Structure 1
Amino acid sequence: MTDSANIELPPEAQAMLRTASRVETPCGDGAMVWHAWGQATRRPGLAPLVLLHGGSGSWMHWLRNIPALAASGRWVLVPDLPGFGDSAAPRQGTDADVLPEPVEQGLALLAGEAACDLVGFSFGGMVAGFLAERFPARAARVVLVGAPGLGVAPEKAIRLRAWRHITDAGQRDAIHRHNLAALMLYREDAIDELALRLHIANVLRDRMKGRSLARTDALAQSLARLRCPVWAIYGEEDALYRGKLDALGAALAQAADFRGLALVEGAGHWLQFQRAAAFDKALLTTLEAAL
């Protein structure tokens, strides 16, 4: 497990952590780290809200969304998925298909038998789908946010630049900015200092190498077997689906109980960061929909 004390987190993230409860649950040879908000102000009858971050990420992918979601009366549970952030790696495997078991084990300890609203961003969307398939009683609903694994490839392959071999801090920052622009955020002017520092703190703690399921239709296959309702929220300018939104809609519609796709205007892949207010509105509308 990587100790976050060894990684400099942006002040905004440090401040958010001071308002959270931290819980550790078993994972691999160590622990899976969870942060929780809103338990004391939770509205009765609302399912626990579980936010699953993207690849090379951590709970900080949701930094700008947690306050509004907790203020809505939700108990918000946000883990560092196994092999990312401060959580230990799973005992075997390096992709989304090996994570449902440790996530379910953690949820059983935190939420008991309660069905949860599972919201998964990118890689975390695959984890949410696989979790809902393997443990159907755990999922009240699934909300996919920019999730891959649907068998829909971008027009051009997205090429990210290597950075670990670069020793100069300025050059490394320039590469990180390039990678954010290539995949995560629409328009380079959206890459502010906070986005850069969050991204760097996240990628430095990614130990899940060799992931490949995102380039398959594994999630689409899983969606067809889900028993719970499925919604989706994507950025209109998501680099993974630019020019392929019709194909995206068709792939999502394979879910047995698909309820709809919302597109956030002017947002790229990391839409909940780039257009936080618009995303929060779309997500809360989805969470308030009848099951």
Structure 2
Amino acid sequence: MSTDFIVSDIERLDAASSKVQTAGGPGAKMIWRRWGAGPALVLLHGGAGSWMHWIRNIEALARTRTVWAPDLPGFGDSDAPDGRLDADTLAPYVLDGIKQILGQQRFDLVGFSFGGLVSALIAAERPAGLERLVLISVAGLGLVTQPPQLKSMRGAQNADEREEVFRSNLNALMLFDKARVDDLAIAVQERSAPRDRAKGRTLVLTDIMLGLSAQWPCPVYGVWARQDALYRDQLDSLMRVTDTLGLRERVILDDAGHWVQYECAEEVNDLLVRFLNEPVAQEQGRVTNAE
């Protein structure tokens, strides 16, 4: 598949969106994109990412949902607010944006990786209207002490060298199957990673999720991948810790890495549709394992 086609495919999906601006901090703007129609669904991307982390999920979900995918403050098209930028400092801006955009509407919240931490913090505030929370490849479980080392763009002199850096970093952290590090994944990385201004994030290295889980007011689902570079050597610990989160269901997907909603897009899309169609009044606190 040619790079030109890939870029135009991203631009096609971008052009199909409606864009809304909310405050992302004093004097800072936060950009939201919207697709589809139906119950509201908010998707929060991961670190070094943007709305494009959901590039292979948006159209499938927008068939039955109004999908909102912002660039978090300090990422993508959104401005960086002053001060320390981490999940706990950004979550209030995202929650304020949800309130501005959705008002009293009910909504579901899905967060990937760093966006999962932001989502968990938002859910702990018990916002009116939140029906379900889905956490994908989330950390903050006290298990990640040192993320994989990634290559720097410094010294990359031309497009081929920059592409090789992006490919190497996708292999090291994001995707398990090297064949899935395709032109689209590289294009997403190339357009997103250089605009990450929220450096020095540290909450991912803590166990913040363990305390937050007691405050979640809604059914919560978790999705991880068996070959996630953050967890592949400590799957038993991942199971033990996530057992304590009170998840309605935990799914572990095989043969996929951290960016599981890209690498196993069809399977994750089907999971999300199922999760988001389950009744919200069922008893919580019981984990169903699908590993």
Q: How many residues align?
A: 274
Residue 21 of structure 1 is aligned with which of 18, 22, 29? Answer: 18
Indicate yes or no: 2:77 matched with 1:86. Answer: yes
Q: Which residue of 1 aligns with 2:197?
A: 207
- C-alpha contact (below 8 Å) 2:22/2:29 kept by paired residues: yes
Residue 252 of structure 2 is aligned with which of 245, 263, 284? Answer: 263
Residue 279 of structure 1 is aligned with which of 262, 265, 268? Answer: 268
- C-alpha contact (below 8 Å) 2:126/2:216 kept by paired residues: no
Q: Which residue of 2 aligns with 1:64?
A: 56
Residue 218 of structure 2 is aligned with which of 207, 215, 228? Answer: 228
Indicate yes or no: 2:99 matched with 1:102. Answer: no
- C-alpha contact (below 8 Å) 1:10/1:198 kept by paired residues: no
Q: Distance in 1 between matches of 2:257 and 2:29?
A: 32
SS at match of 1:124: helix
SS at match of 1:149: coil
SS at match of 2:77: coil
The one-letter code sitting in structure 1 at the alignment partner of 2:12 is: A
Paired-residue identity, %: 40
Instruction: Quote how far apart the aligned CAs of 1:139 are.
Output: 2.4
Q: Distance in 1 between matches of 2:193 and 2:279?
A: 37
> Which region of structure 1 is more displaced relative to structure 2, 267-276 or 85-94?
85-94
Extract unaligned runs of 5+ from structure 1.
1-8
The one-letter code sitting in structure 2 at the alignment partner of 1:69 is: L
SS at match of 1:204: helix
The one-letter code sitting in structure 1 at the alignment partner of 2:171 is: A
Q: Distance in 1 between matches of 2:66 and 2:261?
A: 18
Q: Which residue of 1 aligns with 2:286?
A: none
The one-letter code sitting in structure 2 at the alignment partner of 1:128 is: S
Provide Cα deviations, 1:54-113, integer angstroms capped at 9, x if missing partner.
001000000110111011x11111100000000011232211111121111111111102
Q: Which residue of 1 aligns with 2:151?
A: 161
Q: Distance in 2 between matches of 1:283 and 1:51?
A: 11
Q: Say what the alpha-carbon RMSD is for the aligned residues.
A: 1.7
Instruction: Quote how far apart the aligned CAs of 1:266 are.
Output: 1.9
Extract unaligned runs of 5+ from structure 2.
1-5, 281-291
Could you list the runs of 4 or more consecutive aligned residues of structure 1 that deviate by over 3 angstroms after TM superposition?
A: none
SS at match of 1:240: coil
Q: Distance in 2 between matches of 1:93 and 1:196?
A: 29
